[in-house]
């Protein structure tokens, strides 16, 4: 393949990844690295560099739409970003020391978790949990529009959420992904923040987290312009298209199919990581 | 893109309207930054492909980028010297700068609301971002 063909094929693959990622809510970033490494034989480090850049693009590109809906919680996002950015800097440094085989295996495990997480059914719980002292002190409680008008929710178990966010940041910096699945786990499951608020706030945080590792990636020479260009443009166009289609789409089957694909990619990455052929 | 929710928008006014205004401004900022970055990357990309279309790209083995494509001041210099790869890299820098600008304006937003606790929290996040990018810009650029 010459440069023209390579750029077009990578852009097309990235477009599909971004499109499916935004339709299913899984994010395009999770499949970019397996796509580049398994299908195009790209070195792991170039792949995570290009993926990280595309993660910033989709997160920031979608934020405007999310913000209009009025679900995201700026204070929760900003407070937890302390944990994710510290984690992201640690993860980016770590990426320079771990072998690509180890990174591939960790990547596969995170992919498996993302696939599993996406098929789980979320129940909207605006459970009447009592206010939490720390959350009240930090003024984190918020409200969201429901069928019955605006309902307030209380943020719970801040330390656990903060810790999980650190982990999400490390994974993001290490693997060049948004780790939306772990962020949602922290907010939705641990901190009992309503699902809609969790997903939109998580999207808002992903760009900042990724930007924290980008400087280190750049310095380590992971961000190759020739590769990042088609990936970033493809994923961004795909994600924006997906967001337009979303309101009318039947995503349940699609999500299951996409989750299956991700699980298969995960197994292959783990396998290749163990064999050391990535 | 998103379906505007009339009822919700009405409620927001009685809710935390200052927060809301800041959020909407930040949303527009992010979108503008991403679009600008995408345009610069696209222009550089078309140029790059036109110039090197018959070369065979090879990303199989990691060599790392040359200094002029990983050290921020040098990237800017490359871009303004009209090197296509430098232009793409500059577009990616703009993209990386977008969330940083978002955090910066959040500091301003919380400041206007006189929410000093969150001014401090947001400044901590900003400091980390500046550390990550600044350590690149200030490095010797070997």
- Tens digit of each residue's pLDDT (9 = 90 or more) over B90-122: 999 999 999 999 999 999 989 998 999 999 999
Give the pLDDT score at A62.
75
Evaluate if residue A137 carries a pLDDT over 70.
yes
Q: What is the 3-state secondary structure (H, E, C) of chain A?
A: CCHHHHHHHHHHHHHHHHHHHHHHCCCCHHHHHHHHHHHHCCCHHHHHHHHHHHHHHHHHHHHHHHHHHCCCCHHHHHHHHHHHHHHHHHHHHHHCCCCHHHHHHHHHHHHHHHHHHHHCCCCCCCCCCCCCHHHHHCCCCEEEEECCEEEEECCCCHHHHHHHHHHHHHHHHHHCCCCHHHHHHHHHHHCCCCHHHHHHHHHHHHHHHHHHHHHHHHHCCCCCHHHHHHHHHHHHHHHHHHHHHHHHCCHHHHHHHHHHHHHHHHHHHHHHHHHCCC
Answer yes or no: do A74 and B19 touch at CB < 8 A. Answer: yes
Give the pLDDT score at B119.
96
Please report the residues numbered 90 through 129 in chain B whose beta carbons come closer than 8 angstroms to any beta carbon of chain A: 92, 95-100, 102-103, 106, 115, 117-118, 121-122, 124-125, 128-129
Per the prediction, chain A carries an average pLDDT of: 85
Domain range for A129:
3-275
A131 touches chain B (CB under 8 A): no
Tell which of B92, B94, B114, B127 to mutate to test the A interface (max A CBs under 10 Å): B92
Evaluate if residue A240 carries a pLDDT over 80.
yes
Give the pLDDT score at A261.
86
Give the pLDDT score at B7.
38
The domain tally of chain A equals 1
Span B21-35, average pLDDT = 84
More confident: A240 or A11? A11
Q: B94 contacts in A (CB within 8 Å)?
A: none
Evaluate if residue A12 carries a pLDDT over 90.
yes
Tell which of B29, B51, B57 to mutate to test the A interface (max A CBs under 10 Å): B57
pTM to 2 decimals? 0.88
More confident: B63 or A146? B63
Give the distance from residue B10's alpha carbon to the nearest chain A alpha carbon, in angstroms.
Answer: 11
Give the pLDDT score at A246.
64
Give the pLDDT score at B141.
55
Answer yes or no: do B38 and A236 touch at CB < 8 A. Answer: yes
């Amino acid at each position: 393949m010459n440069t023209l063909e390579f750029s077009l094929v990578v852009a097309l693959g990235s477009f599909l990844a971004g499109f499916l990622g935004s339709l299913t809510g899984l994010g395009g970033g999770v499949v970019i690295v397996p796509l580049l490494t398994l299908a195009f034989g790209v070195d792991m480090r170039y792949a995570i560099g290009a993926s990280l850049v595309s993660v910033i693009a989709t997160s920031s590109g979608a934020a405007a739409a999310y913000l209009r809906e009025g679900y995201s919680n700026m204070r929760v996002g900003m407070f937890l970003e302390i944990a994710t950015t510290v984690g992201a800097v640690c993860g980016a440094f770590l990426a320079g020391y771990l072998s690509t085989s180890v990174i591939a295996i960790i990547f596969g495990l995170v992919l498996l978790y993302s696939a599993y997480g996406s098929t789980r059914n979320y129940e909207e719980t605006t459970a009447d949990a009592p206010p939490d002292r720390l959350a009240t002190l930090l003024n984190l409680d918020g409200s969201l529009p429901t069928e019955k008008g605006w309902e307030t929710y209380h943020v719970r178990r801040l330390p656990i959420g903060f810790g999980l966010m650190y982990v999400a940041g490390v994974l993001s910096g290490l693997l060049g992904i948004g780790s939306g699945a772990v962020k949602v786990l922290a907010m939705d499951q641990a901190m009992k923040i309503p699902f809609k608020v969790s997903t939109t706030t998580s999207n808002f945080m992903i760009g900042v987290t990724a930007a924290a590792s980008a400087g280190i990636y750049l310095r380590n020479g992971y961000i190759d312009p020739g590769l990042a260009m088609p990936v970033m443009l493809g994923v961004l166009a795909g994600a924006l298209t997906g967001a337009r289609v979303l309101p009318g789409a039947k995503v349940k089957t699609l999500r299951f199919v996409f989750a299956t694909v991700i699980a298969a990619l995960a197994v292959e990455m783990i396998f290749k990581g163990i064999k050391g052929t990535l | 893109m998103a379906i505007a929710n009339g009822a919700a928008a009405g409620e927001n006014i009685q809710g935390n309207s200052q927060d809301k205004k800041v959020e909407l401004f930040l949303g527009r900022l992010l979108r503008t930054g991403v679009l600008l970055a995408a345009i610069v990357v696209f222009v550089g990309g078309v140029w790059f492909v036109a110039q090197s279309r018959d070369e065979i790209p090879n990303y199989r083995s990691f060599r790392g980028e040359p200094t002029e494509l990983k050290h921020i001041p040098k990237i800017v210099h490359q871009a303004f010297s009209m090197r296509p790869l430098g232009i793409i890299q500059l577009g990616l820098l703009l993209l990386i700068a977008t969330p940083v600008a978002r955090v910066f304006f959040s500091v301003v937003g919380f400041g206007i609301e006189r929410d000093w606790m969150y001014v401090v929290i947001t400044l901590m996040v900003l400091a980390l971002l500046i550390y990550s990018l600044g350590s690149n810009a200030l490095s010797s650029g070997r």
